[in-house]
Structure 1
Amino acid sequence: MPGWLPRAMVLALALIACFQLGSWAFYQLIGLLTNILIAFFLALAVEPAVDRMAARGVRRGLATFLVFLGVMVAGAGFVFLLGSMLAGQIVDMVEEFPKYLDSVINWTNHTFHTELSRVQVQDSLLHSDWLQKYVQNSASGVLDVSTTVLGGLFRLLTIFLFAFYFAADGPRLRRALCSVLPPAKQAEVLRAWEIAVAKTGGYLYSRGLMALISGIAHYILLAALDVPYAPALAVWVGLISQFIPTIGTYLAGALPMLLAFTVNPWYALWVLVFVVIYQQFENYVLQPKLTSKAVDIHPAVAFGSVIAGTALLGAVGALIAIPAVATLQAFLGAYVKRYAVTDDPRVHGGRRPRGGASALARFRSSLLERRPPPGSDG
């Protein structure tokens, strides 16, 4: 046995052990790393506002606190409006349930010639095994629901704390990062950071402005149709339609359509028509003007990045996919050499010119001209 073989075996086993330990630690910390990633993009989004307030003399810590306070107030208001809407609809459904049950019983008796009554149906439901098992499972699941809610609140608090420190100590963080890099690399890191701040902030601010416009437009329609909870539905449509690209408008329009259907089935059709028309207006008129400077990426690339982000990180990946891809595209664009585009009509969607198409024909004709005529000695 060579003398180096035992040492190589020990080194290989040590590397395998380190890899296994690193994989275990990574999977244990994946939740924390995801929270830090969300907090970092959130800090990038609010950093322009913090910088403007700091430039006007406000201390950076206080400016960051005020910005995050506004974000939390807006989020709490949205949750309150949506919760009140859902709670009101549930109360209305519970109050109208006896009427619905009577109509179903009357239709069943008339159609199938039965003699059912509400008392019989209620007694059968109250004494059914399915209902008892459902109540038992619901009682046992209350603790799980409470644990999930507390875990979500703790995660949200963790994200806000990291984002607060990233935004408040942004200059210090950049100085600490640059202190371990050579001067040439420091310039590249600072440039990448600046691009990330511009793209992420521009994306969120432009989306917020489009969400406001979309919410106002849908509120006018819903209020005109006398659909209940029009303000909450408008906020719902504005946020969901803008922060879920391409298909967000149709997903957000499902809830207003459902509530409009309870008022009048024709109102649901009007809402659907308005959603489709507004989506085209937004895609071809509004969005190019508002996002051309902030996030200039192709719609197909945006949709693909959202799918990839969802596959990697779920809903979190869907939210940060577009600003991440826009940042990467802008950063790599500085290192890609570009050339002038030729005047070939095919570049602009035209057909190949006839002269170029007949090049092979001209070559063949030249061969025929050089061929000696029939009967000659050539």
Structure 2
Amino acid sequence: MVAENEPAPAKAMPASWSARTPPRWLPRALLYAALAVAGLIAAFWALDKMQGLLTVLMVSLFLAFAIEPAVNWLAARGIPRGVGTGVVFGAVLVVIVAFVWTLGALLINQVSMLVTNAPTYIQDLVDWVNKTFHQDISGDDLTDYASEWSSTIEKYLVGIAGNVWGIGTVAIGALFQLLGVLLFTFYFAADGPRFRRWVCSLLPPKQQKHVLRAWDIAVDKTGGYIYSRALLALCSALAHYVALRVLDVPSAFALALWVGVVSQFIPTVGTYLAGALPVLVALVHDPITAVWVLLFIVAYQQFENYILQPRITATTLDMHPAVAFGAVIAGAALLGPTGALLAIPVTATLQGFAGAYVRRYDVIDATDTPSESAGSTDE
């Protein structure tokens, strides 16, 4: 019998209560999860803020890959890599300055000629409209329309002039980005072997072989893309120069240079932009000549697509046109104009990397039966 002052025995805790008690690792897991989420948010914030720098680095690496074969060629002949990179930079700069200078002279000549001959063009246009559509339009009507348009254009120009501070800021930012691209490109090309060794020093020996092979493929494909485009641009410029001289189109050299460079180095729409300018210049002087220029551009484009380009790109950058078109669209969707320019060499690099590591098999003809295949194997 239990004494009156003796405490009652403690009741056992139900099994359901002990199951509801949180495990000891749960608070630590929640803390780690919160830290991981915070780290991801901070990483995305940093990537968003450094988007401009990452774009500069990506473009610089692409340009360094493009000029590295030339720098390696000079370095193999005893020229230091820094000096060789400077020589390649100087050659590229001379080509760019010559291109801009030539097109600037073309633009000035055509604009001045258009302004000088504007009254004659307007009167010829009025006579053609009156004769074709049986109208009775005078030059005074077009002058009134021109005055209205000039006042509208003047308002837009005044608005642009009022925002000159913002335009200047954008121009300064673009200039700094250009200088950054040039600086990083020079360092990536001049210190290419040292940079590769530093990257590989962070990886185990087994992975270093794959990284070096991928690096070589990227240099080979990117350089092949640039040099094949340059050769195609040279062929296009020479062909169009001869045609424009034969057709007596003014500024034939500048127009041929424009067609060669723009048609090869601007993806997808470059062909149309390149062909529009010589057609417009020829149209100002003689509509019949403009038709002949258009026919030659179309004919040469077919010759380039089906005969010239496959032979030039067979040893440098062999890519199906549909794949190239899709790559340009995807690159433009991801990174805008920069992505469109980088899409083709990046896709070619991935294609070359896949060709080096992905095993391919011979395709069996559908007409072959298993017994025929086995019999041919036994033989």
TM-score by length of 2: 0.82
Q: Which amino acid aligns with 2:279?
A: M
Is residue 163 of structure 2 the alignment partner of residue 163 of structure 1? no
Q: After the TM superposition, which segments of 4 or more aligned residues of structure 1 sit over 6 Å from their partners?
A: 102-108, 117-126
Residue in 1 that maps onto 2:42: 21
Q: Which amino acid aligns with 2:88?
A: V
Provide closer, same or farther for how the CA distance between residues 220 and 22 of structure 1 changes in structure 2, counting only shifts above 3 A: same
Where 2:243 maps in the other structure, the secondary structure is helix
- Aligned pairs for 1:119-268 (under 5 A) are 130=152, 133-245=155-267, 247-268=269-290
Q: Among residues 59, 68, 73, which one is paired with 1:47 in the alignment?
A: 68
- Aligned pairs for 1:1-378 (under 5 A) are 2=22, 4-100=25-121, 111=135, 116=140, 130=152, 133-245=155-267, 247-344=269-366
The Cα of 1:99 is off from its aligned counterpart by: 4.5
Provide closer, same or farther for how the CA distance between residues 91 and 15 of structure 1 changes in structure 2, counting only shifts above 3 A: same
Provide closer, same or farther for how the CA distance between residues 195 and 169 of structure 1 changes in structure 2, counting only shifts above 3 A: same
1:125-180 deviation line (CA, Å, top 9, x unaligned): 78x5x466334213213333333333222221111110100000001001111111
Q: Which amino acid aligns with 1:180?
A: L
The Cα of 1:23 is off from its aligned counterpart by: 1.2
The Cα of 1:22 is off from its aligned counterpart by: 1.4
The gaps in structure 1 that reach 5 residues or longer are 347-351, 353-378
For the 8 Å contact 1:47–1:167, the answer to whether it is kept is yes
Q: In structure 1, what is the Cα distance between the partners aligned to 2:148 and 2:48?
A: 49
For the 8 Å contact 2:126–2:137, the answer to whether it is kept is no
1:281-329 deviation line (CA, Å, top 9, x unaligned): 1111111111111112222111111111111122222222111111111
Provide closer, same or farther for how the CA distance between residues 339 and 16 of structure 1 changes in structure 2, counting only shifts above 3 A: closer
Aligned residues: 345
Residue in 2 that maps onto 1:373: none
After TM superposition, the structure 1 stretch with the greater mean CA deviation from structure 2, 162-171 or 183-192, is 183-192
Q: What is the identity percentage for the equivalent residue pairs of Structure 1 and Structure 2?
A: 52
Q: Which amino acid aligns with 1:140?
A: G
Q: Which amino acid aligns with 1:74?
A: V
